[in-house]
Structures are given as structure tokens and as C-alpha cells.
Copies of this chain bind each other. A is one copy, B any other.
Amino acid sequence: MMFPVSASVVIALLMGIVGGVFVLLELRRVLSYDQGNEAMQAIAKAIQKGSAAFLSREYRVIAIFVVIVATLISVLLQWQTAFCFVVGASASASAGCLGMYVAVRANVRTAAAAGRSLHEGLRVAFGSGSIMGMAVVSFSLIGMTVLFLIFNGSPSQLADIAGFGFGASSIALFARVGGGIYTKAADVGADLVGKVEQGIPEDDPRNPAVIADNVGDNVGDVAGMGADLFESYSGSIIATATLGAALGAKSSAFIGLPFLIAAVGIVASLFGIYIVIGKQKKQSSSSESKIARFIEQYRITIDENASLDDLLAALRHSVWGASMLILGLSLIAVLISGISFNYWLVILTGLIAGNAIAYVTEYYTAYTEKPTQAIARATQTGAATTIIQGLAVGMISTVFPVLIVATVILLSIGLGYAADGTMAAGLYAVALAAVGMLSTLGVTLATDAYGPVADNAGGIAEMSHLPSEVRHRTDALDSLGNTTAATGKGFAIGSAVLTALALLAAYVTAAKIYSLNILGATLLPGILIGAMMPYLFSALTMRAVGRAAHKIVIEVRRQFHEIPGLMDGTGQPDYETCVGICTESALREMVLPGALAVIVPLVVGNILGKEALAGMLVGAMSSGFLLAVMMANAGGAWDNAKKWIETGQYGGKGSDCHKAAVVGDTVGDPFKDTSGPSLNILINLMSIVSLVFATSFGSGWFGF
């Protein structure tokens, strides 16, 4: 029996709605927490205001872009694709707004809850993260399935839905780049004057850039990361479905499978989230079922004496539990779809690979491990050797992720080929591996998006002078967030490469390219241009951070100089000007890189032809993957080398070694939070632009 595609899509839609309902319920729960004292609320209000101001202005700029591109699509292609584009952009933007809305309200509630207990603090912060995580997967799934049902049966149905991915990727790029520039400009600016020049601690309310810094954590790590994974998630499902459509007799099952996997992913994610935030029972009642009792035993109890390891174990149990559940449920999905068991192995491969990359990332960036400690040791001979060592760590950290992804590609193609005997089945399997890798997104994103909430909570506790035990608890939550962030990055990078490869395969099919000989006339120039794009893009974003941070430094210096009594606490800093400068700079600077990502594929496709464009995507994918991993891991390792020294190694805080480490950390900031993560989106956006416009490219001006 062949499982009908519409049944899979309807199941996915229903699960998407379930996820949406969870988002609403959880939103009510998180907002029901108390907001602490007046000082805390005043700070929270300032952060909320700054975030809202940035988001509304950012979305206004993006709206212009969306209108222009939608018009272009309508004229060049068809209105259906333009419509899907707008829906994709809107769905992603809505998830981002909602995530931000709750994050800037959960921060103060987390600080207040942490005053009562560690687990209460975790429940609020993680609740906020889970709202973001579930909103991303639900909104994406609802959007795609509804569009699928609307256009059901139309011949260009899947090409139209690629428009949804295009919309999602566009938002992602702007959110990542804009948010990334904002957060690092504020961070670097605040640190350079506050910590280095004036010698006041981090998160000190006297620093005029402190609110901008806190806003930045949210616009970068919540809205940016959310939109990033929204596009990877959507892109992987679209690419898989598109490739599945070309698989002949069983295509109905193949198109439906990614939707089914996504649907079971929502169930599993909800389970994972419950593991962390469900109310902990004092005693198990006898009326409980066996399953409920088993689950309770599986959960880690978090009490006041819980160490970082306990908290980490709680989150790990959450993600692992979700993964196990997905493996079980997806086996059922594969079996009822009536396709080969091999495809379940592919999903398993994707899940394992995601975790393996995350493990490698952690190894190269944790200060308990050799690579980061080698950076700390290099601080003894100054800033230059610290930088050289950090870059070397970043570069060498690319080896295993590359080998892991290469293995996934080989295994997936091999399993798909073995099952259905065609190369097309093999490429479908690669795409499916990406879906597998991202299937736990609802909960992995929750562990990620919870970090900035905890970070903000710590800032609020500091600024409103809460008792040190509160700050101690928020610090524990914050450290936990830093560790889990590495996991999120591993998944983001690994899935981006697989998705880009799947989109490339979909593009090649859609553009009717029958031979893609690497020694063709235009392919190699295309590859070189593609390999250059991540460098150009990184240069633009790094310079943007530098320029914006420079402006903040000048403004903060001016305020310390001109506002009387600022240092002794009698004068009031002007937070809003700093927030305004960050907003202005981020918005202005995000336009050029964003536009380039859309325009370059169109130019290459039209001038050099469709084969060159395929080459460009391959070049961008390989070069971007390497550069992204290098930047992310070097940045993370520098950050943690500094933290390692701050634990008292090599003279501790204030020593010459610490100063050298701070230089490394500052170089690493735009690496890990602006340029590096944007590259994932760059390669996916260029791939999806190519896919959407695939039919409009010819053989180019050269014609050979």
C-alpha cells in the first residue's frame, strides 16, 4: 500500500497546529510569572523598547525588499511563487517576532524566578526558548503544508513552494546579518570603553551601551538564530520533497516522507521540552501508568545543589530522549510509507552526524580540552601568538566536520542507490539526512534560544543589585547556555551543507541540466566565484561590525565625558542614543551583503549560464562550510580561553595574559556571532534563489 502524499501533509499540518497550541499555552505560562521589583522592571522595559524599535525598523526595511523581490518574481516567473515567497517571509518573521517578544519578557521573570530556585529559573528561561523553538517548526510546517494543499495538483506546485523557502532564507539573512552586526557592535563598544577604559564591570548600569548590549543578545541570538534555523528547516523539507517528486512510481511516498518526519519531530520535541520544564513531582503516585513512571525516572531532578553537570545532564536527557522517540516514530513512518528500510538508516545517519559535529565543536571550544588550553598558553607570549594559535585551532577544527559530512553524503547516496537503484534516489537520501538532522529542531533550538534569556537575566540581576545568590544561579544558567550553544551551531552548519547540496540537486533537475562536467568551460570559473563569495561576504560583515563598534565607542566616551556624575552614579546615562546608533548601523550595513546574496546568482546564471551557476553553488558550499566552521570554532575557543584564564589560570583577570586573551575574544566576536553564522544562510539563500529562478537561465553569453 502506498501512503498518499496528502495524508502525510495533513498529518504534518495537524502536528504543526499542535505545536502552535503548545506555543500559546507556554506563552501564557511564562508570562504568568512575576516580574520582580521596580528596578528590574524598569531595566526590562528599556530592553523591550530597544528590541521592539530595532525589530520594527528592521522589518520595515525587509518589507521593502520583500515587495521588490515579490514583484520581480511575479513578472519573471508567476504570481503563485511570489505569493509563496511572501508567506515564507511572513511566517519566518512572525516566528522571530514572537520569539523576541517572549525572550525580552522572560529575562526579567527568569531573574525573579531564580530568586526562588534554580529549577524555577530554568523553567522560565527554557520555556521561553521552547516557545521560539516550537514556533519555528510549527509556523514553518503550517505554512508549507497549507501552501501545499492550496496548490495541490498544480504542475509547478513544488517550484512554487520553493518560493516559501526563498522568503524564509531572505528573512534569515537579514536577521542574522543585521542582528549579528547589532549585537557585536554593542558588545565590543560597551567592553572597549566600559571594561577596558573605565574599568567598570560587565553589565554595569553606568555604562551607556549596557542596554544596547542586552538588546543585542536578543536580536542576534534569538531572532537571528531562529530565522537561521527556520530557513534550514524549511529548505531541507522543500529540497527533499522536490527531489522526491522525480522518483517515479513511489514519488507520492517520497514527497510525503519529509513531512511525516517533521510531524513526528514535533511530538518528540514536545516530549523533550517536557523533560526539562515539566513540574517535578515530589513523589510518584500509584495511579501513574508505567510509561509515566518510566519518564519520571528518566528525568534529572534539579534541586538547589544541582551542579552545571546536572543541568547539562538534564538538557542532554531532553535532546537524547527526543532523538530516541524520533527514531522509533520515523521507523513507523518509513514503514507505512512503503519505501525501503534504508531510508530510516539515512535518517539515523543524519541524527548521529548532527550529534557528532556538535561533539567535535564542543571538543575544540571547551576550555577543559587541549585546543582551547593551547590558546590560553599562547597568551603568555602576547596577543599575536594568541591570534595565530586561535586561527590554527579554528582551521584544524574543520577536519572532522568535513569528514563527518562527507561520510553522511557517501552513506546516504549509497543507501538510497542500494534501495532504488538510481542516483536520484541517492540525492534524495542526502536531503533526507538533512531532514533527519533537523528533526529534533524544536527542542535543540529551545536549548539554544534559552541562552540569551539566561544571559539577560544575569544582566538584570547585576544592574538591579539582586543578592549574589541570584546572580550565582543566573550565572549557572548562563554557562549552561554557552555550552549548549555549541551544539546548536554544529547542527546549523552540518544541516546547512546537506540542505545546500539537496537544493543544488533540485536546482540541477529544475534547470534541466543533463551534464555537469567539472571541466566544462564555465563550471570552473563558477566554482572560483562561488568560493570567493563567503570571503567577500565575511569581509563586508566584519568591516560593518568594526565601523558600528567604532561609533558606539565614540558615543560612550562622549557620555562619560559630558554627563556629570555618570561614574559616581548620580548622573543618568543616555541608553537610547546607543540603541539608536546600533539600530541605524545594523540596518544600513545589512543591505549590501543581503542584496549581493540575491543578485550574484542571478547575474552569474544569466551571464555565464546555468552550468556556471551550479558551479558557483558548489564553490560557495565548500568554501563557505570551511570558513563558517573555522570562524565559529576559533571564536568560541578564544572566548573560552579567556574564561579559562578568568578562572585564575596564567595570572587570572587583569594579568597580561588576560589582556592578550581579551584581544582574541574581541577578534572572535564577529567571527562567531556575525560572519560565521551568516555563511550558512548565504549558501542556502544562493541555492534557493537559483532553484526558484532555475527555469529562467539559459546557456549564458558565452554559449558553450
Contact = CB atoms under 8 A, between A and B. Distances in A.
A638 to B, nearest CB: 10
Contact of A622 (B414, B426, B501, B623): B623
Interface in A86-108: none
A591 B583 CA distance: 51
B508 A546 contact: no
A612 to B, nearest CB: 9
A265 B630 CA distance: 42
Interface in A182-208: 188, 192, 196
A378 interface: yes
A626 B523 contact: no
Interface stretch (A50-58, A343-351, A387-395, A467-475): A387-395
Size class of A's contact patch? 35 or more
A519 interface: yes
A545 B667 CA distance: 21
A704 B388 CA distance: 41
Given A519-B505, A663-B387, A192 B622 contact: no
B392 A546 contact: yes
Contacts of A466: none
6 contacts: A378-B546, A391-B667, A405-B525, A406-B529, A407-B525, A423-B520
A168 to B, nearest CB: 24
B519 A518 contact: no
Interface string A402-439: 11011101100110010000010011000000000000
Contacts of A532: 398-399, 402, 626
A625 interface: yes
Most B Cβ at <10 Å: residue of A384, A508, A545, A625: A384
A182 to B, nearest CB: 17
A535 interface: yes
B410 A525 contact: yes
Interface of A: 188, 192, 196, 378, 381-385, 387-389, 391-393, 395-396, 398-399, 402-403, 405-407, 409-410, 413-414, 417, 423, 426-427, 497, 501, 504-505, 508, 515-525, 527-532, 535-536, 538-540, 542-543, 545-546, 549-550, 553, 608, 614-615, 618-619, 622-623, 625-626, 630, 662-663, 666-667, 670, 702, 704
B528 A405 contact: yes
A531 B670 contact: no
Given A388-B667, A402-B532, A623-B531, A521 B396 contact: no
A382 B666 CA distance: 10
Contacts of A392: 538-539, 542-543, 546
A536 B399 contact: yes
Given A524-B501, A622-B623, A663 B519 contact: no
B387 A387 contact: yes
A407 B517 CA distance: 19
B414 A518 contact: no
A586 to B, nearest CB: 17
Given A392-B542, A519-B504, A402 B663 contact: no
A622 B619 contact: yes
Contacts of A410: 521-522, 525, 608, 702
Most B Cβ at <10 Å: residue of A399, A414, A522, A528: A528
Given A382-B663, A501-B524, A528-B622, 4 more contacts: A406-B525, A410-B525, A516-B518, A517-B517
A516 B515 CA distance: 9
Nearest to A416: B521
A78 to B, nearest CB: 27
A427 B389 CA distance: 40
A281 B690 CA distance: 65
B398 A519 contact: no
A689 to B, nearest CB: 19
Most B Cβ at <10 Å: residue of A414, A508, A540, A619: A619
A642 to B, nearest CB: 12
Nearest to A620: B622
A513 B670 CA distance: 43
Identify the 3 closest CB pairs spanning chains A and B, nearest first: A384-B666, A406-B525, A395-B539
A622 B395 contact: no
Contacts of A549: 381, 385
A555 to B, nearest CB: 14
A545 B427 CA distance: 43
Given A521-B417, A524-B501, A536-B395, A625 B531 contact: yes
Contacts of A542: 388, 391-392, 395
B623 A398 contact: no
Contacts of A539: 391-393, 395-396
Most B Cβ at <10 Å: residue of A395, A520, A522, A608: A395
A528 B403 CA distance: 8
Most B Cβ at <10 Å: residue of A387, A530, A536: A387
A307 to B, nearest CB: 34
Contact of A543 (B389, B527, B622): B389
